[in-house]
């Protein structure tokens, strides 16, 4: 079985179609939060760019999504920072993950980046393992803390 993929920016009409895929990793995501997330990446005013890409299979179904922005790392220089990376790997094949990595690398190359950094949630351990198998390495941990929305600086 030969599977082909097509990558394109996620269109407004595709936002609700991609929601079940997003909810597979972020079960609490609803249409409003997902739409706001996509809008944030698509409407960013940054020097080079950011956006959301959809990976479509040969039947036209969305089987992967990544949200990216141009960023700079102190050691690596210009990078493509991938803030959301998720795939629907129904046939348990690395081809879908590889196709989404290829899309990230192509976009990084278009933007003149020297590398790609992909952020995964801790519950995406199977995907992390697949990324390591495909030659990516884990070089950092992400630490964060929620801030009370009532907190403001004067």
pLDDT digits (tens, 9 = 90+) for 41-78: 987 655 568 999 999 999 999 999 999 999 998 988 99
pLDDT band at residue 147 under the 50/70/90 scheme: confident
Residue 120, pLDDT score: 87
What pLDDT band is residue 128 in, cutting at 50, 70 and 90? confident
* β-pairing verdict for 115-118 and 62-73: unpaired
Which residue has tokens 């590889």? 98
> Between 1 and 80, where is the model more confident?
80
How far is residue 93's CA from residue 97's CA, in Å, rounded to a whole number?
A: 8
Euclidean distance between CA atoms 70 and 68, whole angstroms: 7
pLDDT mean over 121-132: 82
Q: In this predicted structure, what is the pLDDT of residue 152?
A: 62
Residue range 131-142, pLDDT digits in tens: 888 887 787 767
Q: Tell which residue, 140, 143, 141, 142, has the closest CA to residue 75.
A: 140
| pLDDT for 44 | 64
With a CB cutoff of 8 Å and minimum separation 6, the contacts of 29 are 19, 22, 23, 37
Per-residue confidence (pLDDT) for residue 49, from 0 to 100:
85
**Helical H runs in the chain?**
15-25, 31-42, 94-110, 125-133
The stretch 115-131 carries a mean pLDDT of 85
User: What percentage of residues in the chain have a pLDDT greater than 70?
Assistant: 88
Pairing type for strands 77-87 and 115-118 reads parallel
């Amino acid at each position: 079985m030969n599977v082909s993929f097509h990558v394109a920016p996620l269109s407004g009409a595709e936002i609700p179609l991609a929601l079940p895929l997003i909810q597979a990793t972020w079960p609490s995501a609803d249409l409003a939060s997902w739409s706001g997330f996509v809008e944030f990446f698509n409407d960013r005013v940054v020097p080079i760019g950011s956006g959301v890409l959809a990976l479509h299979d040969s039947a036209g179904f969305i089987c992967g999504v990544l949200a990216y922005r141009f960023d700079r790392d102190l050691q690596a220089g210009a990078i493509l920072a991938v803030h959301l990376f998720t795939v629907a790997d129904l046939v348990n094949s690395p081809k879908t993950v590889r196709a989404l990595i290829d899309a990230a690398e192509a976009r990084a190359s278009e933007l003149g980046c020297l590398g790609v950094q992909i952020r995964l949630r801790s519950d995406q351990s199977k995907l992390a393992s697949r990324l390591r198998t495909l030659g990516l390495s884990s070089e950092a941990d992400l630490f964060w803390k929620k801030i009370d929305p009532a907190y403001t600086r004067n």
